[in-house]
Structure 1
Amino acid sequence: MTDLGPEDEYLDLEVGNVANGGFCVARHEGRVVFVRHALPGERVRALVTDRTKNFLRADAVEILTPSADRVTPPCPFAGPGRCGGCDWQHASLPAQRALKAAVVAEQLERLAGITRAVVVEEVPYPVEDAEFAPGPGLGWRTRVQFAVSDGAVGLRRHRSHDVEPIDECLIAHPGVELMGIERHRWSGASSVEGIVSSSTGDRLVVVRERGRKRARVPRLEVPVRLVRGKPEPGKSLPYVREEVSGRMFQVSGSGFWQVHPGAAQLLSDAVMAALEPKPGEIALDLYCGVGLFTAGLAERVGREGLVVGIESDGQAVRDAKFNLRDLPNVAIERGPVEEVLGDLEFGRADGSDRSQNKRTSGHRGGTRVRGGADVVVLDPPRSGAGQAVVDRLATLVGRKIAYVSCDPATLARDLAYFSERGWTLETLRAFDAFPMTQHVECLATLVRG
């Protein structure tokens, strides 16, 4: 929070539309105010928390005229100046999804010139998990990174390094809460991440230490595997196992995996339905992680096809190779996507030469492909794919592209790049994989023309 001077400044505001980032937009004397803890249509009294040259930030501290969508936040740590982990606990779940849909639609229209009605779909809990969930929209986060301040565990406040101490996180999966991380002191730690597999019940705790001081790890309520400090490059780490479509995936340490128990299966099914991979085709899985989409593609293109996965993180590459070791039609390449795409040897992208679509010796891990790629899925980090990757894919891929994104703004930016290069948005699906927060998972399917 910016220093505001000797007296806090309060504003009475009429709240307008939702904005990207967990805010709503209001105006004061012609100046834009981004307001947290408010809903569209409300009249609120707001505390200014930050000033910039072009706009203000504020927290709604008193609701003068409430929206019909307003509810009492279930978590006692939610609210102005408190935990910054959740953005929309004060809105009903249907209202949260409507707000996220409005954000996705606005970003598409503003950044990509695409007008599209958006519906945010619920991500269902697996049946075996649903009975243990503490309530609708709660108990879903299987990976929670807690901050530590002077040994006390909590979560950071919004746009702040300050830590809000907590004794329970309501959006954390029950398997994370079972460890009791928040109910112990962690002297010498800067952060503690609790990880649980909703498939197998595997539990992992990752402790980051403050400086060179060795953190004290307390005895937890249940047995866990422990990762302490920054892992050494190439060193094997403790892992959890996740199951999707009958296949087990090893995910080591803090490696990426969807945090909602139902999201990995739902997204895998959705990507396969969008791309419709055919036997004998060549597919790319960019930012492939531990191989979730690679596996689904490999099973569908069959032994005569080929799937090339590209990932920059060394531990994820090792996990992917282990997870997919039974699939001879898979090649996993390590490196930045834009660089590896440039190193892979592809022939014509129009599919005219399909006679030698095989993996042979070549650059990096040894992948040479003739005839280009038929389909591609990319699931980049929040920063998106970017222009260099889009430029390469636009000429490399022949039939379909599935773009998975957790950031509507960078997705819309990249869709604009694709549009300039002759690709059209065919379908868009959005999923509420992060209830109570501003975040939303999107799947955009693109075709030529």
Structure 2
Amino acid sequence: MSTPPTAAAALATGDVVEVEVGPVAHGGFCVARHEGRVVFVRHALPGERIRAQITEAREGHRFVRADCIEVLEPSPQRVTPPCPYAAPGLCGGCDFQHADLGYQRDLKASVVREQFSRLAKLDVEVSVEPLPGDRDGLGWRTRVEFAVDETGRAGLRGSRSHEIIAVDSCLIADPRVLATGVLTQDWSGESAVDVAAPSEGEAVMVSVPSGEADVPVLTERVAAQSFSGAFEVSARGFWQVHPGAAATFVDTVTGMLAPQPGETALDLYAGVGLFAAALAQRVGESGKVVAVESDTGAVASAAGNLAAYPSVAMVRARVDDAFGVPRAHRSGPARNRAQRSRKLRRHPLLPLRADLVVLDPPRTGAGRDVAAQVAALRPRAIAYVACDPAALARDTAFLAEAGYHLAELRAFDAFPMTHHVECIALFERTSA
């Protein structure tokens, strides 16, 4: 009698297996197989033969996770990681330090193509472009959140773990972050400490929870080819962490949309108003920009950042709420779910028609309902800024259902040494 596949492939945490590594997968892993069981392995590269130690094996799952602990046949693109903490069992912040920087971008492009093929049923040609100011993929991260261990020392978390790894340095952090002395101070009594190094002024440290009551406001200056301006941002608020990102993304979005004087534009998930300001400058006083953002702190910052643009209207709301999308699918007590199932009233500042839309949603994406509402505005162009290619690919399919096709796609290495990649997509109305 043959052994059942599940029994043959039984693996437990701590087991060591020898595997041949297959393609890269979304999330910083590569795919391997052991006796029919899928193994998602970190610190490996496609084509390598390795020994991997199982780090996660859950009953009933068809896959396990593992770390490469020995390379038997290395890839030609393998390099020695510049950081000693970029190794199995240590810091989880960097996924690809063991790969040549150019090859890292090839891997990310492969992930983008695979997500579009699988989720949007599209074959896309895309390469991952470096951002201006890149220095061998190091020293770029201007905002870092450090966890604090039981001894009061700041460190970084392991991959898919709450374990805090004590570190002496972080090579992807902006040198100004480390110059604050965050890694040498005693943070006893705190759970975390955020460090932000803005484009103007000194780097600041904000501890959590004691620093939550008085968070500094920083100035970030954007000097793009198409737009320039200064933005006030909370030290704990969202801002692009790569110093070349904001200007590059503004130029890309405005280049794709080509805003014209007098047009109406929506900036959805507007943050502190970066894209809204750039759009307002282009559509002029005869045009209109409606910016929608739910975060209270971001809205407060945006109000000041956009005060010089009379054509901008700021809406503090969730994007789906602003469109009046029913919320029956959300979790919560039964009574609350019933209340949420009632159709919400569309926000009165949201126009019924728009010429242009910018979507810059969180990692989860915009979703089918928002995609449908955006399409119902019948814009001539939609620019979608995405930090997760899987969410973008899903929403590409939703926009296609609603009558909009992918017209252009670019990808940027806004997070070198990690698996993350920023994509900007242009959608246009599909002809009848």
TM-score by length of 2: 0.88
Give, in angstroms, the shift of residue 341 of structure 1. 2.6
1:86 matched to 2:68: no
1:141 matched to 2:123: no
Alignment partner, residue 109 of structure 1: 117
Give, in angstroms, the shift of residue 8 of structure 1. 3.0
Superposition map of 1:362-373 within 5 A: 367=349, 369=351, 372-373=353-354
Read off the aligned partner of 1:431 and give its amino acid letter: F
Give, in angstroms, the shift of residue 364 of structure 1. 9.3
Tell me which stretches of 4 or more aligned residues in structure 1 moved more than 3 Å: 363-366
Read off the aligned partner of 1:411 and give its amino acid letter: L
- Structure 1 residues not aligned, in runs of 5+: 215-227, 344-362
Alignment partner, residue 177 of structure 2: 176
- Pick aligned residue for 1:433 from 391, 414, 428: 414
Alignment partner, residue 405 of structure 2: 424
Alignment partner, residue 428 of structure 2: 447
Alignment partner, residue 282 of structure 1: 264
CA contact (8 A) 1:13 1:44 kept: yes
User: What percent identity do the matched residue pairs reach?
Assistant: 54
Read off the aligned partner of 1:323 and give its amino acid letter: N
1-structure distance, mates of 2:317, 2:415: 29
Alignment partner, residue 206 of structure 1: 206
Read off the aligned partner of 1:113 and give its amino acid letter: K
Residues 263-320 of structure 1, C-alpha deviations (whole Å, 9 max, x = no match):
0000000000011111100000000000000011000001100000000001101111
2-structure distance, mates of 1:395, 1:367: 16
Read off the aligned partner of 1:438 and give its amino acid letter: H
Residues 183-206 of structure 1, C-alpha deviations (whole Å, 9 max, x = no match):
112001111010011x21332222
- Structure 2 residues not aligned, in runs of 5+: 1-10, 326-344
1-structure distance, mates of 2:234, 2:88: 36
1:238 matched to 2:216: yes
Alignment partner, residue 46 of structure 1: 52
1:407 matched to 2:413: no
Read off the aligned partner of 2:51 and give its amino acid letter: R
CA contact (8 A) 1:379 1:405 kept: yes
Alignment partner, residue 63 of structure 1: 71
Read off the aligned partner of 2:422 and give its amino acid letter: E
Residues 128-160 of structure 1, C-alpha deviations (whole Å, 9 max, x = no match):
xx7xxxx51000000000010110111000111
Superposition map of 1:33-432 within 5 A: 33-52=39-58, 53-125=61-133, 135-150=135-150, 151-197=152-198, 199-209=199-209, 228-229=211-212, 231=213, 237-245=215-223, 246-342=228-324, 367=349, 369=351, 372-432=353-413
1-structure distance, mates of 2:139, 2:378: 40
Residues 364, 113 of structure 1: CA spacing in aligned structure 2 closer, same or farther, 3 A cutoff? Answer: closer
Give, in angstroms, the shift of residue 253 of structure 1. 3.1
CA contact (8 A) 1:202 1:240 kept: no
Alignment partner, residue 18 of structure 1: 24
SS of residue matched to 1:280: coil
CA contact (8 A) 2:323 2:346 kept: no
CA contact (8 A) 2:138 2:172 kept: yes
CA contact (8 A) 1:332 1:365 kept: no
Give, in angstroms, the shift of residue 173 of structure 1. 0.5
2-structure distance, mates of 1:330, 1:138: 37
SS of residue matched to 1:189: coil
1-structure distance, mates of 2:401, 2:350: 28
SS of residue matched to 1:181: coil
Give, in angstroms, the shift of residue 365 of structure 1. 8.4
2-structure distance, mates of 1:66, 1:183: 37
2-structure distance, mates of 1:301, 1:35: 49
1-structure distance, mates of 2:258, 2:138: 33
Read off the aligned partner of 2:148 and give its amino acid letter: V
Read off the aligned partner of 2:402 and give its amino acid letter: R
Give, in angstroms, the shift of residue 367 of structure 1. 2.4
Give, in angstroms, the shift of residue 262 of structure 1. 0.3
Give, in angstroms, the shift of residue 100 of structure 1. 0.2
Considering only aligned residues, what root-mean-square deviation do their CA atoms show, in Å?
1.7
Residues 203, 365 of structure 1: CA spacing in aligned structure 2 closer, same or farther, 3 A cutoff? Answer: farther
Alignment partner, residue 28 of structure 1: 34
Read off the aligned partner of 2:190 and give its amino acid letter: A
Residues 82-112 of structure 1, C-alpha deviations (whole Å, 9 max, x = no match):
0000000000110000000000000000001
